[in-house]
Structure 1
């Protein structure tokens, strides 16, 4: 079932590749439940992207527990594929980059500035990918979390896509910047802005260190877990569990700290060992 379609470019300059040759592809495919075609086509890209988002949740639990986040491929595979757990954008999209490279896609790492409806200038901290298939370039991103894409979206100015009950749009600005938007009840909502300047694993390693350790990072000091489906998005922030719907409705409730392990299992598909469950409950109580 596996393939070794690694490009000649990657063999020449390993620093610019995504280590697809080191990927346990069969284990990854079993993790996301994909048994279809592995040909490097737009159809395969959509199927893999959707299966990945459905199977592997967004989460920062290691950061919340005071642990470093490793973004080398072996560490990512051990955590997201074998254990199995979730991860945030660097882990998720570096794993997908290795998969797509292994299957023969041309993959370029990108980085974005989070907007989430604001025009305030934020640092470039979000990892995402551009994957090229036979009919052009696609924006792929399995690591944005609650408002993220279910499937890749064609890199086309003004292009719109309906994914499940969610709608997305890409717009190119005069500054050579692209903006990904989602449709809210009151109109288009800016998610993030990015350029097509390439990023590499070494770049993400530096930003990952800041994001996972700096006291001003939004991922340090709080629990953040997210999972998106075709008709609902589930978000756990601290002890608040929110379910959002495409029509703008949302329901939120506060959980007891002791309810977190069960919620992680039942809502997000994350099972922790007994020691980690106890540590997370203690963290939430603080």
Structure 2
């Protein structure tokens, strides 16, 4: 599988430009690697992919604060580097996996983007609004996803029917169901469907459409609430409005209810998201409004 993104011709058709598909040539790679604390081998190997996957999750939070603050979410690599790397912020799936794709492209990995339907335990049909990557190394495919947030993979998972792995106390599995694939995690009461997807290649212009939907549509899960999540080797931290949950991978969860005024300092101390005073004030006001609805 190869990473390809169409470029527009004068006639309005598209033509593949693999060399610039994910803007890896425009990436400040050294700044990214310093941000995630990675100084290992840069060859396109499985060990490198695993190490970068875990390093990315540990360094960057998952969050939707730009939507809360009324700012557009952009997917060009310059903006992503400025926001996530230099601004020490986070983002949601398209931001994380676009940045990670640029890193992989720059390092010489072969991969493709896919679109997934987030299930989170339900069997309802949902739109394909999540982005993940399938990376091919030495002829073997691996599902990589640094942008799911809570319940997401901690490191790449071999992409094959029945593939299963335990990652820091959490157990993940991939299954094939007809023409789709399902990523699952093992809960105390059994297997839990996280998302399902096909291997149809998605391109950057496809994700631009999905990205617009998620930050503007009234049914988007990122509208009307604050979300922040952070993954460490032992724990997952999740903040939904004023509910802060800390969960051990594959284990117990502890929940605490915050006052609205506690949200900005919690974003800073738990999730590493520092806000300017006016941003903190806006977040506090919006949280009050969200919980009053």
- 59, 69, 74: which one pairs with 2:73? 69
Is the Cα contact below 8 Å between 1:7 and 1:104 reproduced in 2?
A: no
Tell me if the contact between 1:147 and 1:228 (Cα under 8 Å) persists in the aligned partners. Answer: no
Instruction: Give me the whole-angstrom Cα distance separating, in 2, the residues matched to 1:18 and 1:73.
Output: 8
Pairwise mapping of residues 57-206 of structure 1 onto structure 2 (< 5 A)? 57-174=61-178, 176-206=179-209
Deviations 1:11-61 (A, max 9, x none): 983377111101100000011000000000000000000000000010000
For 1:265, the equivalent position in structure 2 comes to 268
* Deviations 1:116-149 (CA, angstroms, capped at 9, x unpaired): 0100000000011111112511111000001111
Any conservation in 2 of the 1:57–1:227 contact (CA below 8 Å)? yes
Aligned-partner Cα distance in 1 for 2:160–2:244: 35
Say which is worse superposed, 113-122 or 9-18, in terms of deviation.
9-18
Which one of 232, 250, 254 corresponds to residue 229 of structure 1? 232
Distance 1:217 1:161 in 2: 31
Structure 1: runs of 5 or more not aligned: 1-5
The two structures have a TM-score, normalised by structure 2, of 0.91
CA contact 1:165–1:230 (8 Å) conserved in 2: no
TM-score, length basis structure 1: 0.93
**Alpha-carbon shift at residue 9 of structure 1 (Å):** 9.5
The answer to whether structure 1 residue 284 and structure 2 residue 287 are counterparts is yes
Q: Which residue of the partner structure matches residue 249 of structure 1?
A: 252
2-side partners of 1:57 and 1:217: how far apart? 20
SS of structure 2 residue aligned to 1:235: strand
Distance 1:20 1:116 in 2: 32
Count of paired positions: 280
- 1:46 matched to 2:47? The reply is no
Alpha-carbon distance, 1:231 to partner: 2.6
The 2-side partners of 1:114 and 1:9 are apart by 24
Please report the RMSD computed on the Cα atoms of aligned residues, expressed in angstroms.
1.9
Residue number in structure 2 paired with 1:208: 211
Q: Larger deviation: 69-78 or 87-96?
A: 69-78
Distance 1:26 1:64 in 2: 31
Moved more, 33-42 or 223-232: 223-232
TM-aligned CA distance change 1:253 to 1:104, over 3 Å:
same
Instruction: Give the whole-Å Cα distance in 2 for the aligned partners of 1:140 and 1:8.
Output: 17
What is the alpha-carbon distance in structure 2 between the residues aligned to residue 228 and residue 120 of structure 1?
A: 27
Choose 113-122 or 270-279, whichever is displaced more.
Answer: 270-279
1:166/1:230 contact within 8 Å kept: no
In 2, the alpha carbon distance for the partners of 1:246 and 1:221 equals 28
Per the TM alignment, residue 107 of structure 1 is displaced from its structure 2 partner at its CA by 1.8
- Cα deviation, residue 7, structure 1: 8.9
